[in-house]
Structure 1
Amino acid sequence: MPYLLKFPQGSRPALFVAREKRFLIHVLLDGRPVTAHTNNSGSMLGLLRPGMEVFLSPAASPGRRLPYTLELVRPCGDWVGVNTLAPNRLLKRAWETRALPELGAYTDFTAEAKWGDSRLDAKLTGPDGEFWIEAKNVTMVEDGVACFPDAVTERGQKHLLELMELAKRGVRVGVFLAVQRPDGQCFGPADFIDPRFAELFWQALDRGVEFFPHVVHATPDGIALGRRLPIVPQP
């Protein structure tokens, strides 16, 4: 399976020690304590255990206070990608390589496209018009169901409302869900975490928002795109 994304030179394995607040983690790197950044504001429920393997990438700026960013965790046998920027990067790379059939033959890709007072992750344009897409990172699985979100997300709720508004205007819209867990057999909204998001998810699905969850295979060698998952039946 080809890797669509590779980690930068200088990426390193480490051992997880603890998480501090939302955006800091403490690790042992070559046996010495190091504090690293995580951009994942979710709970990462069930993923962080003292002593487990993690994988870090170096900061793009050598002067940054925290020299590494958390990319992968290994709670059991499989690696799980927890960098919330990875789905956006994967989406763009999939468009460039035509790896996602859902993206069709759009000729232009604009990241962080502005609509109203917000920005959506991507706007694709071409002879068939526009396709606005949000990208989400999915790291939680319950009884074989890959679930999102793992914490209440007002931002995610807002995005669904914005996509529904665009759909009402006749614009194609969708959500790319990067399911970082190979044990996920299908996808469903986490109504036991964020009931409002789940309510909006089903509304959006009924109103023409396309959801395409794909398994993502992440290892220290890179990130590959896997099969598309079905969506659970609406309750």
Structure 2
Amino acid sequence: MAPRSAAPVTLPLAGPLVMARFVRRRLRFLVDVDGEAGPFTAHANNTGSMLGLLRPGRLVGLSVSDNPARKLAHTLEMVRLPDFRGDFWVGVNTLTPNRLFRRAFGAGAFPDLAGYDTLRPEPAFAGGRLDFALSGPAGECFVECKNVTMVEDGAAAFPDAATARGCKHLVELTRLAREGVHRAALFFCVQRPDGGCFAPAAVVDPDYARLFAEAVAAGVAVLAYRAEASPGGITLGERLPLARRY
């Protein structure tokens, strides 16, 4: 495992963001926005509800792809959220957690993952695939990454919509932890600066909350980290504690 770098780990964006105002969301994966040159439609890869974020008139930041084969050149990256303590960006791109985890792991930014030096993406399991398998002198550790965009009662919370797929991942990680041959971990990438701890969103998905508690009891490591989203990139921040009650 590489030694921990003193410098912050930042995932740069592909290029400058285009700023626009949110108009509406359509068919889960489409967002209509109003930019300087007029209205246009962009892609949104976040299948969650993005509860409390997508309000008409909100400022949004969109990346631009140079792939000519894409039907929509723009992708929704972040939403500017008003707050009485000062407005802030919320990162909504669900590819960010995996990309940031890979970069941060390579920089030795996770003390809990010392002893692993190799990363393999998308290892298969009986019900599908997890995000990463880590290996090294410490053995093998399976990791699933999740994006967090919701804060409820002072806690960063996941999910923001019921998730059968997320429940399936919890079941598999719990099984791995109980078998004791491999380690299992969850990386929650909290792409907003508020919320002092992390908790499963029981009010949104009680099944996920129940399975999360079982996973923690079985020994699945919960790595909830704040990630500062800005037009300059996504920077890994401090680790958040688990809420006392969840």
Query: Is TM more than 0.5 here?
Result: yes
Instruction: Pick the TM interval, shorter chain.
Output: over 0.9
Choose the corresponding residue for 1:140, options 141, 146, 150: 150
Matching residue of 1:129: 139
| Alpha-carbon shift at residue 165 of structure 1 (Å) | 1.1
Choose the corresponding residue for 1:199, options 201, 210, 231: 210
Residue type at the aligned position of 1:91 = F
Matching residue of 1:11: 17
| Alpha-carbon shift at residue 107 of structure 1 (Å) | 1.5
Q: Tell me the TM-score normalised to structure 2 length.
A: 0.92
Alpha-carbon displacement from aligned partner over 1:72-125 (angstroms, at most 9, x marks no partner):
110211000000110000100001111222221311101111123411011110
Matching residue of 1:209: 220
Structure 1: gaps spanning 5 or more residues? none
Residue type at the aligned position of 2:166 = G
| Alpha-carbon shift at residue 153 of structure 1 (Å) | 0.3
1:233 has 2:236 as partner = no
1:106 has 2:112 as partner = no
Distance 1:60 1:161, change over 3 A: farther
Which aligned pairs between 1:70-219 and structure 2 lie closer than 5 A?
70-76=76-82, 77-170=87-180, 171-219=182-230
Matching residue of 1:43: 49
Determine if contact 2:9/2:104 at 8 Å carries over to the other structure.
Answer: no
- For residues 33 and 197 of structure 1, the distance between their equivalents in structure 2, rounded to whole angstroms, comes to 38
Residue type at the aligned position of 2:25 = R
Choose the corresponding residue for 2:69, options 52, 63, 67: 63
| Alpha-carbon shift at residue 10 of structure 1 (Å) | 4.8
- For residues 135 and 93 of structure 2, the distance between their equivalents in structure 1, rounded to whole angstroms, comes to 27
- For residues 55 and 126 of structure 2, the distance between their equivalents in structure 1, rounded to whole angstroms, comes to 41
Tell me the SS of whatever aligns to 1:79: strand
Aligned residues: 235
Matching residue of 2:3: none
Determine if contact 1:202/1:234 at 8 Å carries over to the other structure.
Answer: no
Determine if contact 1:48/1:75 at 8 Å carries over to the other structure.
Answer: no
- For residues 187 and 9 of structure 1, the distance between their equivalents in structure 2, rounded to whole angstroms, comes to 31
Q: Tell me the TM-score normalised to structure 1 length.
A: 0.96
Percent identity among equivalent residues? 50
Determine if contact 1:57/1:68 at 8 Å carries over to the other structure.
Answer: yes
Distance 1:133 1:204, change over 3 A: same
- For residues 118 and 188 of structure 1, the distance between their equivalents in structure 2, rounded to whole angstroms, comes to 25
- For residues 178 and 60 of structure 1, the distance between their equivalents in structure 2, rounded to whole angstroms, comes to 27
Please give the root-mean-square deviation of Cα atoms over the aligned residues, in Å.
Answer: 1.4
Residue type at the aligned position of 2:208 = F
Tell me the SS of whatever aligns to 2:210: helix
